[in-house]
Amino acid sequence: MIRSPLRRYPPAGAVDVVVIGAGHAGLAMSRCLAERSIDHVVLERGETANSWRHERWDSLRLLTPNWQSRLPGYAYRGADPDGYMSASDVVDFIDGYSRFIGAPVRTHTTVTSVVAEGCGYRVATDRGEWRCRAVVLASGAHGLPAVPAAAEALPKSVTALTPKTYRNPSQLDDGGVLVVGASASGLQLADEVQRSGRRVILAVGEHIRLPRVYRGLDIQWWLDAVGILDERYDEVDDIVRARRVPSPQLAGTPERATLDLNALTERGVELVGRLVGVTDGKAQFSGSLRNHCAMADLKLARLLERIDQWAADHGDGPAFAPPERFAETRVEGSPRLNIDLARERISTVIFATGFRPDFSWLHVPVFDHKGRLRHDGGVVAAPGLYVLGLNFMRRRKSSFIHGAEDDVRELSAHLDAGLRVAGGGHVPRRAVG
Ligand SMILES: Cc1cc2nc3c(=O)[nH]c(=O)nc-3n(C[C@H](O)[C@H](O)[C@H](O)COP(=O)(O)OP(=O)(O)OC[C@H]3O[C@@H](n4cnc5c(N)ncnc54)[C@H](O)[C@@H]3O)c2cc1C
């Protein structure tokens, strides 16, 4: 166990670094700060792994296999490396990590504001104030559901849910369900609700199609091996766009079955295009369904070619099953462009349309005109301020559990160097890793 230099914690006070959030990312940073003997505290509004305790639906399983769950100095050691953790397994994993590293976590401490002060920051909480030289924002990329404006226009008779408020089919009113968004969450929820016996319509926009297993191995194995998950933010052509790419259509089930639009169509889910608005009780969908599906099929074909090339370059042979190709996504006749919610007895709309971070308490001028945090691979545009866990933050894998390790190693080195700068504590802002 690595002991933090902070052995007895005062109610609040001065410390070199405040880490906000005790999810896996904040704890991984804590471990790296402790390795460097940097005095720090981790402030957590709930308990460790809070979002996995309170913000996930009941049946959720990771889409990343167990062998891939690793954090600095720690890895999955259970009996089922190819399985997929439930949310409570993830809580145990993160709790175990927190104990293993002896993280200086202050639970039930909500950060209410962060302001610049002198050469550092003042961090106000509901349990007193902290002064520090650096702050790490590890409060999560999925703080708030990103719900489209159309939700405002839903009739009062329709219940709007998000993946944060949906728990299981038993909470739903009678009637059909419109799921908006066909990435990992939307697909999994559409599948679960359909299996519960309700009618489901799925509004499909841009999406990433992946098979669960390719050539006998989990697709995550291939993405890892080929180096796709390690691609860096400063190597891609359009990082703004890359950061908007939705999560892949994957589900972690014991059968390791592929969950794609074809599988849902076979089970009776109706596909429509992207939701563009709601007017007079009618949901309107774009005519882009076929294009979005064709694009996802094309991207999948390109990915499989890249994987096959990598396999050929690495000896191919009996180690890998032969290359496979998958049926293109079926789009029935003319997908409907609008649906009268009352006439179709749609009682619930689930907006699985993504998330955005909640930095409403961060009162430092580090946001662009769209309200996005300005950062260079996690080094925020203010001295001594860092962020973790955002989409494609430093690497394609940055927002995943296994993505934290490389990021926190590099960012803690940068932070350490900044703290060592003589006479101030202003952390240099560029060139990490
Ligand atoms: C539905 C879903 C499925 C996912 N599936 C996978 C998967 O299969 N595999 C994978 O690797 N990743 C997955 N992820 C992505 C990622 O691993 C999780 O989002 C993970 O929870 C992010 O970890 P984090 O430490 O960055 O943030 P979080 O786990 O969200 O931790 C942030 C912590 O900060 C605390 N906090 C927030 N605001 C404050 C405040 N003001 N004051 C004090 N504390 C605060 C929160 O309570 C929380 O505990 C999934 C994410 C979602 C949403």
> pLDDT tens digits for 106-152?
999 999 999 999 999 999 999 999 999 999 999 999 999 999 999 99
Tokens for 356, please give them. Answer: 């955005």
Q: Are strands 14-20 and 128-137 parallel, antiparallel or unpaired?
A: parallel
Identify the helix (H) or strand (E) that includes residue 307. helix 289-313
List ligand 1's pocket residues with C-beta within 6 A.
20-26, 43-46, 50-51, 56, 62-64, 110-111, 138-142, 163, 185, 361, 388-389, 399-401
> Which residue minimizes the CA distance to atom 33 of ligand 1?
21
Cα(49) to centroid of ligand 1, in Å? 7
Q: Is the pLDDT at 384 greater than 90, yes or no?
A: yes
Question: For the chain, what percent of residues have pLDDT higher than 90?
Answer: 92
> Which residue minimizes the CA distance to atom 38 of ligand 1?
139
Cβ contact 360:113 at 8 Å: no
Ligand 1, residue 112: give the atom nearest the CA. 41
Cα(50) to centroid of ligand 1, in Å? 8
Q: Is the pLDDT at 422 greater than 50, yes or no?
A: no
Tell me the C-alpha distance between 412 and 398, whole Å: 15
Tell me the C-alpha distance between 76 and 70, whole Å: 6
Whole-number pLDDT of residue 368: 96
Ligand 1, residue 143: give the atom nearest the CA. 30
Choose which residue among 139, 165, 212, 363 to substitute to test ligand 1 binding: the one with the highest number of ligand atoms within 8 A of its C-beta.
139
Choose which residue among 29, 32, 44, 97 to substitute to test ligand 1 binding: the one with the highest number of ligand atoms within 8 A of its C-beta.
44
Cα(133) to centroid of ligand 1, in Å? 25
Kindly list the structural domains of the chain, giving each domain's residue range(s) and its CATH number in brackets, ordered by start.
Answer: 5-143+357-432 (3.50.50.60), 146-351 (3.50.50.60)
Ligand 1, residue 68: give the atom nearest the CA. 11
Q: Is the pLDDT at 38 greater than 80, yes or no?
A: yes
Q: What angle do CA 35, 36, 39 make, to 5 degrees?
A: 100
What's phi and psi for 351, nearest 5 deg?
-90, 95
Whole-number pLDDT of residue 1: 45
Identify the helix (H) or strand (E) that includes residue 283. strand 282-285
> Which residue minimizes the CA distance to atom 3 of ligand 1?
62
Cβ contact 249:183 at 8 Å: yes
> Which residue minimizes the CA distance to atom 7 of ligand 1?
62
Choose which residue among 51, 58, 164 to substitute to test ligand 1 binding: the one with the highest number of ligand atoms within 8 A of its C-beta.
51
Secondary structure letter of residue 25 according to DSSP: H
Q: Is the pLDDT at 153 greater than 70, yes or no?
A: yes
Nearest partner of 296 among 226, 356, 247, judged by Cα = 247
User: Mean pLDDT, the chain, as a whole number?
Assistant: 93
Measured from the Cβ of residue 235, the count of other Cβ atoms closer than 10 Å reads 11
Tell me the C-alpha distance between 274 and 338, whole Å: 11
> Which residue minimizes the CA distance to atom 12 of ligand 1?
400
Question: Letter for the amino acid at 220?
Answer: Q
pLDDT in tens, 68-107: 999 999 999 999 999 999 999 999 999 999 999 999 999 9
Ligand 1, residue 56: give the atom nearest the CA. 1
Adjacency order of strands within the sheet including 282-285: 275-279, 282-285, 338-340
